[in-house]
Amino acid sequence: MAEQTAQLDVAAKLGSTRPLRIVQFLKWMRRRDGGVVNTVSLLCPMLTDLGHRVTLLSSENEDLKDPCWFHQHPKAGDAIQHRAGTTACVTVPMRDRLAELRGSSMLASERDEPFQLLTGEGLAICEAALRDADVLHLHGPWASTNIQMASLARRMGVPYVISPHGMLDDWSLAQGRLKKRLHLALFSGTMLNHARCVHFEVEEEARQGRVHVRAPVVVGPPPPIDPRAFAALPGPDLAQSTFPALNRPGLKVLFLGRVAPKKAPDALVRAAAIWKREGAQVTTLIAGKGHPPEFEDHCKQLARELSIEDRCHFLGLVTGEQKWSLMQAADVMVLPTSQENFGIALVESMLCGTPVITTKQVDTWREFERAGNWILEGGANVAEQLAGAVAKLIGSDGAELRERGERARRWALATYHPRALAAWYARMLDATHDGAAAAPLDAGSKNGR
C-alpha cells in the first residue's frame, strides 16, 4: 500500500497542468466490452472535473447516460459544442462495407474487424474536433479507426498518445501471432512509432510491450477507478434477493467480467466439478456476457456435461448497484486468467471488501498480492490450482476472508484517489511536460516495481 500511495502522492504534488483541450477516441463505448470502455468512461469526466476541455469521439455511446456527458450528433462542417462541467460526447459515423455486403453492419459486430472505418463525414467531424486540440488520446493498437485518427492527427500537427491496454503483452501477441506481426509491420507500427509517447499502465506491461515501439515510453498512471462510487455500498441483500443461489450454504465464489477464453471462466467450471466431487459446499457464480457469445454457450454446456448445474450458476450481465451488491455477497472473487493487463473488476471487488484469487498472468499481480490477495501460478492446470486454493478456505470461520477483504479495501481506497489519478493523466497527456509523467514511476521503481 505504501508503494502505490507514494506514487499518487508524487502525482498530487505535481499539481494540475495547464488547462488542456483533450480529444479522446474509442471506436465504441459499449459497457459490455469491459475494461477499456470503463477506463475511458471514467477518465473523461475526471479530466473534465480538473478543468480540462474533453471531447470523446465514438460511433456508439448510448450507454453513457449520466448528466456529465454532453451528447451531440454534428454533421460535417458543424463546430463541436462544449458546455462547462461536461464532456462533449460526439457521435461520429463509421461503417463496415464488407459486413454490409454480408447483410450485417459495423454496429452489429462484437469484435474489431479491419474494414470498420470512419466514413468521409466521420473524418470531417473528427477533423473539426482536432482543429484546436492540444492532444489526441488513442486506445489500443489494432483498430483501423485508430490508424485513421493517428494519420489525421499527424497531418494536422496534433500530438497523440497511445495506451495499448495490454494488447502488446506477450500473451496477446501470441494470439494470431503472424497476423499481428504483419499488422505491426504494415499498419500499427507506424502509428505507434510516431506517437508523442506510448503509455503503459504498469511496469510489467511496459517490460513486455516496449520492445515493439520506437516512440518514447511512459509507465503509469494505472487505469482509473473512482473509489467515491464505493463509499456507500448497497450491502449484499440486493444481490441475495435477485440471485437465490447466494442463499445456499457454504462458500460463494464469484467470477465477474467478460466470459471470454483468455479469462478462463471454463477453468472455474472445472474447479466447481472438483469441489462437488470432493463434497465441498461451494456455490459458483459466473456474471458476464459471452465474448464471443458462443463461448458462454460452451461454458454452460461444460457445466451440463460435468453435472454441476446445481452448483454453477450463470447470471448474465450484472451492472450498477446490483454489481457492487453481488461482489459484497460473494466470499471471494476469482479470475483464473491467462492474460490481464490490469484487472479492473478485481480492484472493484477489493473496493467492495471482497478479496480475490487470480494468477501471475495479471500484470499487477505483485501489487495485488501485497494487498492481501491470493495469487496462483496459472497455466494449463489453473483449474486444479483454483480448486486447491478455495478448498483451503472451506470450513474456516471466515476470519481470514474478512481480514483479507478489509486489507484489500484499504489498499484500493488509498491507491485510487480520483483527483491525483486525473492530474497524473493530464501530465502524461501534456506535450509541454514530457518528463513529468515519468515521475510517479520513478517513485515506484525505487520500491522494486
Domain range annotation of the chain: 2-7+15-226+417-441, 228-415
What is residue 231's predicted lDDT score, i.e. its pLDDT?
86
- What pLDDT does residue 5 have? 40
* C-alpha–C-alpha distance, residues 64 and 164, integer Å: 23
Question: What beta strand segments (E) does 183-328 contain?
Answer: 197-200, 217-219, 251-256, 282-287, 312-316
Instruction: Specify whether the CB–CB gap between 285 and 245 falls below 8 A.
Output: yes
Its sign, for the CA torsion 273, 274, 278, 284, is: negative
Please tell me the predicted confidence (pLDDT) of residue 157. Answer: 97
pLDDT for the residue numbered 225: 85
Cell of 39: 477506463
Contacts of 89 (CB under 8 A, 6+ apart): 56, 58, 61, 64, 69, 70, 71, 72
Fold match, 2-7+15-226+417-441 / 228-415: yes
| Residues 214/188, Cβ–Cβ less than 8 Å | no
Torsion sign over Cα 93, 95, 100, 103: negative
* Contact present, 201 and 347 (Cβ < 8 Å): no
Give me the pLDDT at residue 16, please. 55
Structure confidence at residue 434 (pLDDT): 52
CATH code for the part of the protein at 2-7+15-226+417-441: 3.40.50.2000
- Which residues lie below 8 Å from residue 429, measured CB to CB, with a gap of 6+? 20, 22, 134, 135, 137, 161
> Is residue 380 classed exposed, middle or buried when 0-12, 13-18 and 19+ CB atoms within 10 A define those classes?
exposed
What is the three-class DSSP state of 229? helix
Give me 130's grid cell: 482536432
pLDDT of residue 110: 83
Q: Look up the CATH architecture of domain 228-415.
A: 3-Layer(aba) Sandwich (3.40)
Give residue 343's pLDDT: 83
Cell of 267: 477453468
Query: Whole-model pTM?
Result: 0.72
User: What does pLDDT average to in each consecutive run of 10 residues of the chain (449 residues)?
Assistant: 41 64 96 87 95 97 94 95 97 94 88 93 98 97 97 98 95 92 95 97 90 94 85 95 95 96 96 96 96 94 97 95 97 94 89 96 90 95 96 83 95 85 93 48 31
